[in-house]
Amino acid sequence: MSEKFSLHPTLAADTFIVDDWMLCRVLLMNDARFPWLILVPRQDGLRDFDEIAERDKPTFLTEIDRASRALRSVTSAEKMNVAALGNMVPQLHVHVVARFAADAAWPAPVWGVGEAIPYSTLQVDALIVALREAAKP
C-alpha cells in the first residue's frame, strides 16, 4: 500500500489499530457501548468511494464483508450496520457496527448518542485478539 499513508488525526485519537489488511487499516472504535470497526483504505487523498481505483474496489468490498463477518462472529450481533459518511472526517472510511435491540441507540444510528464509554485495556486487548482470529482468511 501507499508509503505515505497517514490516518486522519480524529480517527487516530478515537480508535485502536486491529490490523492492516491488503487494502485497509482496520480500526476499533473506542466505545464499549457499540462494537464498531472502521476500515480505512491505506491510500492518501481518498475522500469518497468513487475515488478508489477500479482494481481496488473488489478488495475494498471483500474487506468490508470480512470485517462484518468477523464482528458478527465475535459479538453475535442481531444486525450489522455498514456506512460511509465522511462528513466529520474527510478521509474515506467505512463504519461496520454491530447492533443489538438493547443497545443505547437502537434503532437509531449510533452517531451522537450519549458519551462514549472507553474500553478497559483488558477488554480491548481481548476483543482485538478475537477479531483477528475471526477475520483470518
As a whole number of angstroms, the distance between CA 36 and CA 31 comes to: 8
| Number of domain units in the chain | 1
Percentage with pLDDT > 90 across the chain: 91
CATH code, domain with 43: 3.30.428.10
Considering the domain boundaries, does residue 1 fall inside one? no
Question: The whole model's pTM is what?
Answer: 0.95
Considering the domain boundaries, does residue 39 fall inside one? yes
Using the predicted structure, report yes or no on whether residue 86 has a pLDDT greater than 90: no
Using the predicted structure, report yes or no on whether residue 12 has a pLDDT greater than 70: yes
Considering the domain boundaries, does residue 84 fall inside one? yes
- CA angle 71–58–56, rounded 5-degree value: 110
Considering the domain boundaries, does residue 3 fall inside one? no
Considering the domain boundaries, does residue 89 fall inside one? yes
Considering the domain boundaries, does residue 2 fall inside one? no
Using the predicted structure, report yes or no on whether residue 2 has a pLDDT greater than 60: no
Q: Identify the domain containing residue 56 by its residue range.
A: 9-134
As a whole number of angstroms, the distance between CA 16 and CA 45 comes to: 22
Q: What is the pLDDT of residues 31-41, one digit of tens each?
A: 999 999 999 99
Using the predicted structure, report yes or no on whether residue 1 has a pLDDT greater than 60: no
Considering the domain boundaries, does residue 69 fall inside one? yes
Q: State residue 3's pLDDT score.
A: 59
